[in-house]
């Protein structure tokens, strides 16, 4: 598997200090180009449920092989205070606050600026097909949305 990923086109800059990719302990020969927007995300990633890690690993492989860009994680864990800050301008949230799957390590947010909205929607469709949120497929495991901080891809898994 070595040489499978063409990393020559990866952009350098903000992420190069924390960019060391992610080496899976289960598949140590596979290099996955996953970038973390903040250093704390590296530790938070380890706490994710296995299904969510598999979604991210698959997405990183797909994004790199199809568009030669890294997968950039921007949010994983969110405290109640951070949740309140994110939705401070949302009138519905202010009237009836809801919890987020980020608050118990069941969600990740992925920057889509490197791949574009069309590719992001394609990726979300593939993830929903391969990793259904529930057996009835009543909710999506992946969606492209904007909650006021810019469009991004959101992956989530159901509570065990």
Instruction: Say what the pTM is.
Output: 0.77
Give per-residue pLDDT as tens, 84-139.
Answer: 888 888 888 889 988 899 999 999 999 987 888 999 999 999 999 999 999 998 99
Joined tokens for residue 1: 């598997």
Q: Tell me the per-residue pLDDT of 6-57, one tens digit each, with 9 for 90 and over.
A: 444 443 333 333 334 443 334 444 456 788 989 999 999 999 999 999 999 9
Residues 6+ apart with CB under 8 A from 29: 1, 2
Exposed / middle / buried, residue 101 (Cβ in 10 Å: 0-12, 13-18, 19+):
middle
The two tokens of residue 155 are 């992956």
Q: How far apart are CA 88 and CA 85, in angstroms?
A: 5
The predicted structure's pLDDT at residue 115? 86
DSSP 66-105: HHS--EEEEE----HHHHHHHTTT-HHHHHS----GGGGT
Contact by Cβ (8 Å): 102, 145: no
β-strand 34-36 against 71-75: which pairing, if any? parallel
Can you list the domains of the chain with their CATH numbers? 22-156 (3.30.1380)
């Amino acid at each position: 598997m070595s040489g499978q990923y063409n990393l020559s086109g990866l952009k350098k800059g903000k992420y190069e200090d924390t960019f060391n990719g992610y080496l899976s302990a289960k598949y140590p020969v596979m290099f996955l180009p996953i970038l973390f927007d903040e250093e704390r995300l590296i530790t938070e990633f380890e706490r994710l449920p296995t299904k969510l890690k598999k979604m991210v690993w698959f997405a990183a492989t797909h994004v790199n092989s199809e568009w030669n860009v890294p997968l950039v994680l921007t949010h994983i864990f969110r405290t109640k205070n951070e949740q309140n800050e994110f939705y401070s301008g949302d009138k519905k949230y202010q009237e009836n606050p809801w919890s987020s799957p980020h608050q118990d390590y069941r969600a990740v947010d992925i920057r889509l600026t490197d791949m574009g909205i069309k590719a992001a929607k394609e990726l979300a469709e593939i993830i929903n097909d391969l990793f259904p949120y529930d057996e009835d497929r009543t909710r999506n495991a992946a969606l492209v949305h904007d909650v006021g901080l810019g469009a991004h891809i959101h992956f989530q898994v159901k509570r065990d």
